[in-house]
A and B are shown apart, each in its own frame.
Chain A
Amino acid sequence: MTENGIWNWEHAWEVLPDLLEGLVVTIEATVVGMAIASILGLFIALAMRSPSRWVTIPLRFVVDFIRMTPLLVQLVFVWLLFSTIPTLVVGFTVLGVHYATYMSEVYRAGIEAVPKGQWEAATALNLPKSRTWRAVILPQAVRNTLPGLGNYAISMFKETPFLFAISVVEMYTKAQQYGALTFSYIEPLTLVGLLFLLVSYPTSLLVRRMEIRLA
């Protein structure tokens, strides 16, 4: 504590550039993670439609297992397991795979929401299966999934601080480092919280607008 009270503006200004640097990593993690999640999620959703139980039952178990266990523990696990792979890659991949299990549900709902008549029309036109998916079903399904994708992007953004556990230097780790160095946690931690709010709240408003417009 200093003579000018609990909050020290000097500390705040000093740490802010570091935090913004961390914010870039945080946003990078969200973008890369979400890219992995949306692609892998789609493949999981498609594989879950397979008629063979030998595919769906093990896949269901793996997906449930990943979804119902803590991201934090998964991160540390994979990080310790593959110590030769760069930390950043491990962090982004685990984030992506974890959220892919959520995204697969979003895709499943999106695909199921495509009216049955569309399938029947594709059959009537004798479209091959791949063409039916690419030209008829997926374009409509993906439109249904956009709000879900946006919501999960926001929640992933807020979960990136878990990366501190594997020492990826994102925004929260920067704050923690500054706090450990100067013994003043109040300014960096408060600023990190505010920065999260500053990015996530406007984004969530945008997603809500998109939800209303697409509905």
Chain B
Amino acid sequence: MSDFLQTLTSRLPSLGDAILVTLELTLGGAVLAMALALLLGFGARTRSLWVRGPSRVFIEFFRGTSLVVQIFWIFYVLPVFGFKMEALAVGIVALGLNFGAYGAEVVRGSVASVPASQWEATIALNMSWFHRVRRVIFPQAWALMIPMLTNLLIQLLKGSALAYYITLHDVNFWTTQLRRATSETVYSFTAGLLVYFVIAYLLTWGMNALEERAKRRLGRGTRPSLRDVVGLRPAVGTAAITGRGTAA
């Protein structure tokens, strides 16, 4: 055990690099996935078949073929067609495409759950499509979709462990190296899994904060905001009576 701890401390700097790679994959993949999810999610809702059709095909294709197959396909097969990418880019693109397709369904579903009267009201107010979505529809859909997006984000983080098999030095790689150096299977893998767990926990935490913020902006907050607690301005209106946070 003490030998193990010694090796572990000597390998802490490389753990920093490994976490960085895992975070790059996770956050890079998440940003790409979110952009795709918005594009495809709204695309799958349009009336035009020329937009809806390709969006649906794209979504079902990347949901239906496994992430493992996609990542290795991009890594091994795409260079044959002349697209050679760095391993990190391969990881980000594969994770982004796969989870973008899953996210698109979340976006589509959440936008569909915004009451139709909200759309009607924006039409009555003669807002442009972009204005409607940005100011009225999306803020409501966003609060609905965050819990599901959190699940996807954690799955994305877990999927990023595949990066080790396309030569990247992520946390999974670090774990196997630690085991090789110490030949302590239990300790090494417990350490590696704990690192993943802490990252996942922090991500969930951040997403919960985002959800709380999104809800508060709709006037549906369940906790007082930090500003309400620390600030000098007294809470007014229903917030003071019900103890709920005020609308920002």
* Cβ contact within 8 Å between A68 and B68: no
Q: How many residues of B contact A (CB 8 A)?
A: 38
Given A165-B165, A186-B80, A201-B60, also A172-B68 (CB < 8 A): yes
B61 touches A197 (CB 8 A): yes
* In contact, B64 and A74 (Cβ under 8 angstroms): no
- Per-residue CB contact flags for chain A residues 53-89 toward chain B (1 = under 8 Å, else 0) read 0000000000011011111111011001100000000
Contact digits for B171-201, partner A, Cβ 8 Å, 1 yes 0 no:
0100110010000011001001100110011
Complex contact B76–A185 (CB within 8 A): yes
Contact A70 B68 (CB under 8 A): no
Can you name 21 A-B pairs with beta carbons within 8 Å? A1-B80, A68-B196, A70-B160, A70-B196, A72-B162, A73-B161, A73-B172, A73-B189, A74-B193, A77-B185, A158-B67, A161-B69, A172-B66, A172-B68, A185-B77, A190-B73, A193-B65, A193-B69, A193-B70, A196-B64, A201-B60
- Shortest beta-carbon distance, A37 to chain B, in Å? 16
Interface majority SS on A: helix, strand, loop or mixed?
A: helix
Residues of chain B lying within 8 A (CB to CB) of residue A68? 154, 158, 196-197, 200-201, 204
Q: Does A212 contact B (CB under 8 A)?
A: no
Asked whether, in the complex, the Cβ of A72 is within 8 Å of the Cβ of B201, the reply is no
The chain A residues found within 8 Å of chain B, CB to CB, are 1, 6, 64-65, 67-74, 76-77, 80-81, 158-162, 164-165, 172, 176, 179, 185-186, 189-190, 192-194, 196-197, 200-201, 204
With A1-B80, A65-B197, A68-B197 in contact, do A194 and B162 touch (Cβ < 8 Å)?
no
Contact of A69 among B64, B68, B193, B204 (CB under 8 A): B193
Give B161 Cβ to nearest chain A Cβ, in Å. 4
Give chain B residues whose Cβ lies under 8 Å from the Cβ of A204.
63-64
By the criterion CB–CB under 8 Å, are B80 and A196 in contact? no
CB atoms of A193 and B66 under 8 A apart: yes
The one of A67, A81, A161, A176 that contacts B66, using a Cβ cutoff of 8 Å: A161
Residue of B nearest to A74 (CB): B193
**Residues of chain A lying within 8 A (CB to CB) of residue B70:** 193
